């Protein structure tokens, strides 16, 4: 049996990216994410990874890109030309989803 801090019995689910189990009733983000698709690139060291946004807010973004998993804590440059955006971001998590594509969660810094 799970102990929950919500007022009713609820089901817990596991995040497919970080593995954390959470209540489906609780949204932990203070800023809502917009589900929008924009072409984007990630510049890290001498590599450029191309992909597109899955969801984004003023503080973070999730991107599907072609390339290997990036290490948490890495600082990179995120470019979204369509939004005239070029910012530094920190890798919070990254997960390979196919043999040549990965997801990454970034925190804008």
In which domain, by residue range, is 82 found?
A: 39-108
Residue 15 within any structural domain of the chain: no
> Would you state the pLDDT for residue 58?
84
Residue 1 within any structural domain of the chain: no
* More confident position, 72 or 28: 72
Taking only the tens place, the pLDDT of each residue in 45-84 is 999 999 999 998 888 999 999 999 999 999 999 999 898 9
Residue 73 within any structural domain of the chain: yes
pLDDT band at 1 (very low <50, low <70, confident <90, very high): very low
Closest C-alpha to 105, from 70, 80, 79: 70
pTM, 2 dp: 0.70
Residue 95 within any structural domain of the chain: yes
Residue 10 within any structural domain of the chain: no
Domain count, the chain: 1
What CATH number is given to the structural domain containing 47?
Answer: 2.40.10.220
| CB-CB contact of 73 with 91 (8 Å) | yes
């Amino acid at each position: 049996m799970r102990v929950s801090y919500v007022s009713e019995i609820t089901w817990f689910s596991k995040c497919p990216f970080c593995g954390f189990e959470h209540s489906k009733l609780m949204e932990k983000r203070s800023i809502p994410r917009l589900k929008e698709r924009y072409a984007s690139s990630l510049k890290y060291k001498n590599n450029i990874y191309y992909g597109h946004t899955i969801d984004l807010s003023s503080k973070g973004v999730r991107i599907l890109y072609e390339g290997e998993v990036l290490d948490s804590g890495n600082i990179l440059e995120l470019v979204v030309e369509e939004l005239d955006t070029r910012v530094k971001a920190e890798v919070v998590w990254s997960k390979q989803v196919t043999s040549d594509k990965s997801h990454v969660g970034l925190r804008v810094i």
